[in-house]
Chain A
């Protein structure tokens, strides 16, 4: 994996390399280098299997992280390619021509995170949430608890406990030390 990174670092401007375990590493790439990098990995390095494509919302840093995880079966190794996008009007180039299955991932990201992939097949069709008009729900600023309070009636007699405080009361009825 180290030699792979050493070879690709300069041509594709890779940064933030992390060797998570001997057969899995993560790198960050700039937007304009993503497609050449994925093509290179797929066609020349043996990473032919797109394992997953997903997003992480780093709301404090005002950006989304897209993760393209690729697998090389012959050498039994994986590479996670990270790409950072600004959260505002997030939009990314589609890769459905490289892997047809990417269209499904992109359709889900469009619905759940609001990240657009212009040109991706059926990207604007409802995927899981039919008729959803609220904020894309997998964004960190979508509050599931508030949504549940507003959308559903509370069952009478239901009690909600903070697990840490509840366990402390069970284990130390006389008080005990603070956290």
Chain B
């Protein structure tokens, strides 16, 4: 267990809730973790106030990566928005494509072919595996276990090969577009995917033996960043962070989309609700994704179209309306709120990424009383990606 020292040394709160910190007293120090720091997740920073080596206050700062996606989309036709949405999340871009496409299809009244739904589900699960592998490497690295990241990068690279042969791209796939998906599965894909899955399972066994059974990892991760299950709704917590707290919250099961109602799975949960539990939930969720991909390839129809007929996309106008489409990405609930006004451009697109709540309010709450050396591990355990905050 992480040992916490006596909190009475920390500053008193003022009437407005802010802390009375006198930096000239020599007792406190401001320390910036990020934006350029190996212990930060992406382009963000945490402004730490420390007393000794313990954090008494942390404030998340974002804006280093702001590209104004939501505003840019208001100037682009519906089809022009499609290639830019994936840029919002680098490690798992496909959820942006799916949520955007599904929202546009819903408001435009487009029916997607059944086979496209299966391929979309396949793509999303492949992306989830990539994202989790990247996470495992980062989580281990934050506690000094550098070699795990090399193994998971190798496994992720194999999955990127599958993405490349399926979509033509390794990172930004631009494959799930309004109306369906761009192409069918290539010849022999199932066999190569099975080989990839077996290699990933083998790597994951090594990761389990060297990371999850490692005394250093256990010593530092167990008890770090405890999330009370009662905070889940209060703080908008979703995904593995909620499931690590024993709350079986998974959009794939709660509000099944695509073909998840035709697949057999149960949400992975843990009850310890600390960094170790969250890492283990993600590891087991990854194994579930491997199983889901096998189920998809075994059950999906092999005949039929993968793309609906769209109107002329250069003159495509969508009637006035609004909707919200959500999915369960590797970090939690990902959603698109789309408002249309009858013109050829979206009136408003709002992206709801899980990091928005996890990396701001929740991280600022959890970071208090944590040792500086554990800040990186805590932050990674929430699996945050800053571009979702500053879309």
Residues of A within 8 A of B (CB): 18, 20-21, 23-24, 26, 48-52, 54-57, 67, 69, 73, 76, 78, 80, 99-101, 103-104, 121, 126-130, 137-138, 140, 142, 144-145, 163-164, 167-168, 179
Write the chain B residue with the least CB distance to A164: B314
With beta carbons under 8 angstroms apart, the residue of B75, B234, B333, B357 that contacts A104 is: B357
A128 in contact with B66 given A23-B255, A48-B233, A145-B75 (CB within 8 Å)? yes
Which residues on B sit within 8 Å (CB–CB) of A103? 361
In the complex, whether B153 has a CB less than 8 A from a CB of chain A is no
Number of interface residues of B (CB under 8 A): 41
A167 in contact with B350 given A23-B255, A54-B337, A100-B361 (CB within 8 Å)? no
Q: Is the CB of B323 within 8 A of A56?
A: no
Q: Give the CA-CA distance A168 to B390 in the complex, in Å.
A: 36
Q: Give the CA-CA distance A127 to B64 in the complex, in Å.
A: 11
A127 in contact with B63 given A73-B249, A73-B254, A101-B360 (CB within 8 Å)? yes
Q: Give the CA-CA distance A30 to B326 in the complex, in Å.
A: 27
Q: Is the CB of A137 within 8 A of B75?
A: no
How many residue pairs link A and B with beta carbons under 8 A? The number is: 97
Q: Is the CB of A78 within 8 A of B17?
A: no
In the complex, whether B214 has a CB less than 8 A from a CB of chain A is no
Which residues on A sit within 8 Å (CB–CB) of B170? none
A20 in contact with B361 given A49-B233, A49-B236 (CB within 8 Å)? no
Most buried by A among B75, B357, B389: B357
Shortest Cβ distance from B86 into chain A, in angstroms? 19
In the complex, whether B68 has a CB less than 8 A from a CB of chain A is yes
Q: List 20 A-B contacts (CB under 8 A).
A: A21-B106, A21-B323, A24-B323, A24-B324, A26-B322, A51-B236, A52-B350, A56-B322, A56-B348, A69-B324, A76-B255, A100-B235, A101-B235, A128-B389, A137-B68, A138-B71, A140-B74, A144-B72, A144-B75, A164-B315
- Interface of chain A, main secondary structure: mixed
Of residues 299 through 357 on chain B, the ones whose CB sits less than 8 Å from some CB of chain A are 314-315, 321-324, 326, 333, 335, 337, 339, 347-348, 350, 352, 356-357
Q: Give the CA-CA distance A26 to B323 in the complex, in Å.
A: 9
Which residues on A sit within 8 Å (CB–CB) of B321? 18, 20
Q: Is the CB of B255 within 8 A of A54?
A: no
Q: Is the CB of A78 within 8 A of B70?
A: no
Shortest Cβ distance from B64 into chain A, in angstroms? 9
Q: Is the CB of A104 within 8 A of B361?
A: yes
Q: Give the CA-CA distance A126 to B255 in the complex, in Å.
A: 36
Which residues on A sit within 8 Å (CB–CB) of B339? 56
Q: Is the CB of B236 within 8 A of A99?
A: yes
Which residues on A sit within 8 Å (CB–CB) of B74? 140
Q: Give the CA-CA distance A112 to B326 in the complex, in Å.
A: 24
Which residues on B sit within 8 Å (CB–CB) of A167? 314
Ranked nearest first, the 6 interchain pairs of A and B with the lowest CB-CB distance are A48-B233, A128-B63, A54-B350, A164-B314, A56-B348, A101-B236
Write the chain A residue with the least CB distance to B106: A21
